[in-house]
Structure 1
């Protein structure tokens, strides 16, 4: 993995707020609410959105609202602040308007820029278009006496051109003719991407676009940046939101766009290791989480049954029955089960491997065992997993995420201690160092 180019190694949440609401006595009311979010309700990156979330007729007022609200509340906001400006690869007029808005927001005499970490640029095209945006950032910095490269640039991938441009970043970043090292987030925008691709679905719903999400995660990893998925519009579908995040996390995309403070809470917590470990059983129709009762993992569904016979065991899964001896049953149940480790489990394993490495051992076996109860039958299962340096480094990713969150979000310390306990938090902050 390429070394990260900014202090933040992870961004879990990307939360947008309209900069000006038409027809309201206080057009900045949504900005004021967002600026006062704290703890798990506050995002890692807050995006005052002067593009799609704000009507074109309100965008000049939106810039004034950004300056006013960020000047007043920016010092106390616990995450980073990255306003989204207007931009379009095919419209010089739109690009110029975005440039003028950046100049207004970045004026040091207006008091907002000292709390702003960068800007988000939507609707980018090929790599030359990214360079145009970067050049405007450089001009803004020079115009206002800011350190060159101090403003981060995040882009939203909303076109085939932008998707292909990610493949050239490694070659382009670091050239003396640009300041593309300022790049921070690569954010998917599936709605406009669908429009650009002229995609159609029978229901009119957005395609899943797993290839785009994979390509964005790969592009971010190769260039030392951070990948963020686009918005999940059905804000009441918490289960679907979780499934989307889990699918993303398996691609290395740990961040997601959040549309409400409730989604922010879910997305802030989702990539963190769970408080308690849990066993899963594959019933042939998906995995179910087992109930833990006095150290025994209990399955109470009707798709799997197990009974002991004079010759061994009968295991039925979805109507298909196997007659197995003790060893065969053990092997079959190992194939059907999986364990989700808790934060404490991960830290325990890493500490054990660190101690073994200190003693000169390059690999060790770690056992995971439990007792399963299916119906009235109980069976002990156990498996050994070999840990070497590669396993250790892979296990470090969720711990590195936790450490990054703890270091950058002191407003969440109390909730994290409540979630895991003070002892586990202290150990998690020490492991891997």
Structure 2
């Protein structure tokens, strides 16, 4: 399924997403701190972090923050309210009209079908055209409902404006009826309860050519636990993880930043293989290791990340 969008800036931009910092859109102080942080990506939240009676006020605070704060090279994102609430349409209109040129992406919540993506894509296309915006606003979406995971292939490929999917294990737990104790612990289960969902979503993202990210880790004081979750996500092909506290920014960036020596070695092998191809060779030995087309392909994700980081 493809979107009817014919925007001239149709190609997805490459964005660094080692860490996405969550910030309540109702707090001017926290948004200012987020702008000054080292995060790659900041999403200003209009959904769960904002009480219903403050959501309209928070829209204005977010617009002001986007327009007046120095965000550096960060991706500036706003998480809007779910489509089954009365806030969604006005969220989109207010944000795009108020801060369109200073807004990089919108994050959609509780996405269940491709139609959820296409609805917002249509609104954005009309707003961009009517306002004469010189940039295209991207979309990111949370897979946090069982219906969303069931439809994840169609969602991931629904629209060329969609740049990333995020696995939201909190709401997914509720949607799935997962056993969670009052202290937030998952009931007894052998292995990683979320492995299938994470892996399934990541497969869909890779097939569609978009980024896959992992959601929050609640205990922001637990560095070891957070790093382990980041490492699991990285291993299966995710490009980053949420941070719900500034402490988690550096931890995520450290895990999702490739080792400089590994990157240098991969580039050495890739250069040697390119030269071998020019000489008509399909496979070569470099430093005692066999290098062929499959080897070079496996280096791709690491080298793309290194290029985005500027290593």
**Both structures adopt the same fold (TM-score exceeding 0.5):** yes
Return the alpha-carbon distance in structure 1 between the equivalents of residues 226 and 178 of structure 2. 22
Could you say if the C-alpha distance between residues 385 and 267 of structure 1 is closer, same or farther in structure 2, counting changes exceeding 3 Å? same
Could you say if the C-alpha distance between residues 352 and 129 of structure 1 is closer, same or farther in structure 2, counting changes exceeding 3 Å? closer
Deviation per residue, 1:307-339 (Å, 9 max, x gap)? xxxxxxxxxxxxxxxxxxxxxxxxxxxxxxxxx
1:195 equivalent in structure 2: 174
CA offset at residue 29 of structure 1?
Answer: 0.8
Total equivalences in the alignment: 296
2:91 equivalent in structure 1: 101
Could you say if the C-alpha distance between residues 201 and 385 of structure 1 is closer, same or farther in structure 2, counting changes exceeding 3 Å? farther
Counterpart mapping for 1:158-197 below 5 A: 158-169=144-155, 173=158, 180-197=159-176
Deviation per residue, 1:34-75 (Å, 9 max, x gap)? 1122xxx222x210111111222221121111111111125x
Residue 205 (1) aligns with residue 185 (2): yes
Residue 404 (1) aligns with residue 277 (2): no
Residue 12 (1) aligns with residue 9 (2): no
CA offset at residue 390 of structure 1?
Answer: 1.3
Are the counterparts in 1 of residues 15 and 75 from structure 2 also a CA contact under 8 Å? no
Deviation per residue, 1:370-419 (Å, 9 max, x gap)? xxxxxxxxxxxxxx43111110121232122111222xxxxxxxxxxxxx
Counterpart mapping for 1:61-76 below 5 A: 61-74=57-70, 76=71
CA offset at residue 16 of structure 1?
Answer: 1.1
2:143 equivalent in structure 1: 157
Deviates more, 1:349-358 or 1:220-229: 349-358
CA offset at residue 9 of structure 1?
Answer: 5.7
- TM-score scaled by length of structure 2: 0.86
- TM-score scaled by length of structure 1: 0.63
Return the alpha-carbon distance in structure 2 between the equivalents of residues 343 and 134 of structure 1. 37
Instruction: Classify the secondary structure of the residue corresponding to 1:77.
Output: coil
Return the alpha-carbon distance in structure 1 between the equivalents of residues 239 and 53 of structure 2. 35
The match for 1:120 among 72, 88, 107 is 107
Return the alpha-carbon distance in structure 2 between the equivalents of residues 199 and 237 of structure 1. 23
Structure 2, unaligned runs of 5 or more = 1-9, 187-191
Are the counterparts in 2 of residues 153 and 185 from structure 1 also a CA contact under 8 Å? yes
